[in-house]
Copies of this chain bind each other. A is one copy, B any other.
Amino acid sequence: MKLDDNQKVDRRVQRTRKQLHDALIELIAEKGYESITVQNIIDRANFGRSTFYAHFQDKDDLLMSGMNELIHRLMDGIEQAGERDGPLFSAEPLFQQAAKQPQLYKAIFGRRGVELVVHEFKQHLASHIQEQLEARETSEIPADVFSIYLAGALINLLQWWVDEKMPHPAEKMGQLFKTMAFQA
């Protein structure tokens, strides 16, 4: 439903954007997002300075133009798992996805990762959890508080997991989270 883009946009533009994105991901994995400069990116991708600014406003712009898609993919996985499994929601798809591309997910969610993306994702996650909570019997705990609590715990767990080189299998992480969160 988005394929129009690929067919209408100038090939040069497609190539340039992809290469800039790739360079950024590479650099994030190597030295963390914060310390990357636009200069680094264009050096790595081998483009002229003006070309970069013809496409993106700055580093953050380049980053976000790619990460929104990733965030929505993750949320879709979690939401679909929720429909299947019945209970509030399942964290396992998140760990599964990360296990498939450890390098990428460490670059984004690990220490030295990208605060901007992590925060954005955390927001989506908290919203989803809150919806699920409100659709159930009311507990003594306010839904907004509980959803923030769970989202923070999960993101942090993921962060630790990718930094520690995934010491447990994704499946187990999903189970552990469920146990800790809901005592079940």
Contact = CB atoms under 8 A, between A and B. Distances in A.
A43 to B, nearest CB: 23
A176 interface: yes
Contacts of A111: 119
B148 A152 contact: no
A41 interface: no
Contacts of A119: 111
A145 interface: yes
Nearest to A155: B152
Given A111-B119, A115-B115, A141-B176, A151 B146 contact: no
A150 interface: yes
Q: How large is the interface on A (under 10, 10 to 19, 20 to 34, 35 or more residues)?
A: 20 to 34
Contact of A149 (B146, B153, B168): B153
The count of identical subunits is: 2
Given A111-B119, A115-B115, A156-B156, A180 B149 contact: yes
Contacts of A160: 145, 148, 152
Contacts of A157: 145, 148-149, 152
A74 to B, nearest CB: 18
A6 interface: no
**7 closest A-B pairs (Cβ-Cβ)?**
A152-B156, A153-B153, A148-B160, A149-B153, A152-B153, A149-B180, A183-B183
Interface of A: 111, 115, 119, 122, 140-142, 145-146, 148-153, 155-157, 159-160, 168, 176-177, 179-180, 183
15 contacts: A111-B119, A140-B179, A141-B176, A142-B176, A146-B180, A149-B153, A149-B156, A149-B180, A150-B153, A151-B156, A152-B152, A152-B155, A153-B153, A153-B156, A183-B183
